[in-house]
Structures are given as structure tokens and as C-alpha cells.
């Protein structure tokens, strides 16, 4: 039950943080920068958190709270997919390509950087 509560609390905080970032930054007519930012930052955070968990395997409650809960609530693939659909529907193929590939590539790089940061600190 404690583990479920940790995921619940982390997810609620992450979702709330995503809402505020998206409200603040998704005002652009070109790209949904808020969604892109939360997905890249969330990727970095999950890399750092899981990198830390490799060094400290006894911290599974922290992983549930932060990686599963917070990062799971903070990042959003469904919104990313919907916003890509909107870009395609509007015929803005350049923004679609930049947003799609930029998000995926930046997300992967962010995970690796998060792991490396924790590994060498």
C-alpha cells in the first residue's frame, strides 16, 4: 500500500507541474514548447533518478516516488501524439518533423546525460 501511495503522490505532483509548464509555454502557434520541455526534462530526470538507483539499489521507494510517480505524471506521450496529429492536420510538416524528431532525440540524449551526471558525481 505504501508503494501505491508513493506513485500516487509523485504522479499528482508531476501532473500538476506539467499542467503549469504547459500553460506557461504552450502559447506558441508553431510548436507546443511546454510539452516538448516537460518530456525532455522528464527524460533527463528519469535518467538521473535511475542512474542514482543503480548506485543506491536500496532506494526503491525513492524510485517509485520520483521515476514512476513524478516523471510518469510529468511527461506525456499522449499529449505529444495529439499535438503531432494537430501539426499534420494543419499541414505544418516542418514543425511536425522538428517537434517529433527533436523531442525523441533530445529525450534520448537527456536520459543519457542524466545517467552520466549521476554516474560521475
Question: Whole-angstrom Cα distance, residue 67 to residue 81?
Answer: 21
Question: Whole-angstrom Cα distance, residue 108 to residue 110?
Answer: 5
Give the HSE-up count for residue 91: Cα atoms under 13 Å, Cβ half-sphere: 0
Question: Whole-angstrom Cα distance, residue 81 to residue 100?
Answer: 9
75 assigned ligand-binding residue: yes
Q: For the beta carbon of residue 1, count every other beta carbon within 10 angstroms.
A: 5
Under the phi-then-psi rule, with left for phi > 0, alpha for psi from -120 to 50, and beta for the rest, what region is 92? Answer: beta
Task: Give the residue ranges of the annotated binding site.
Answer: 72, 75
Task: Give the residue ranges of the annotated binding site for Na(+).
Answer: 72, 75
Amino acid at each position: 500500500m505504501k508503494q501505491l501511495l508513493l506513485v500516487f503522490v509523485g504522479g499528482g505532483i508531476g501532473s500538476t507541474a506539467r499542467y503549469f509548464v504547459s500553460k506557461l509555454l504552450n502559447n506558441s502557434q508553431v510548436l507546443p514548447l511546454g510539452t516538448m520541455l516537460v518530456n525532455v526534462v522528464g527524460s533527463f530526470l528519469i535518467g538521473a533518478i535511475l542512474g542514482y538507483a543503480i548506485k543506491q539499489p536500496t532506494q526503491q521507494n525513492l524510485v517509485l516516488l520520483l521515476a514512476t510517480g513524478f516523471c510518469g505524471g510529468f511527461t506525456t506521450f499522449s499529449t505529444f501524439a495529439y499535438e503531432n496529429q494537430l501539426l499534420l492536420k494543419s499541414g505544418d510538416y516542418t514543425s511536425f518533423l522538428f517537434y517529433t524528431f527533436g523531442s525523441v532525440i533530445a529525450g534520448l540524449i537527456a536520459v543519457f546525460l542524466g545517467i552520466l551526471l549521476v554516474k560521475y558525481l
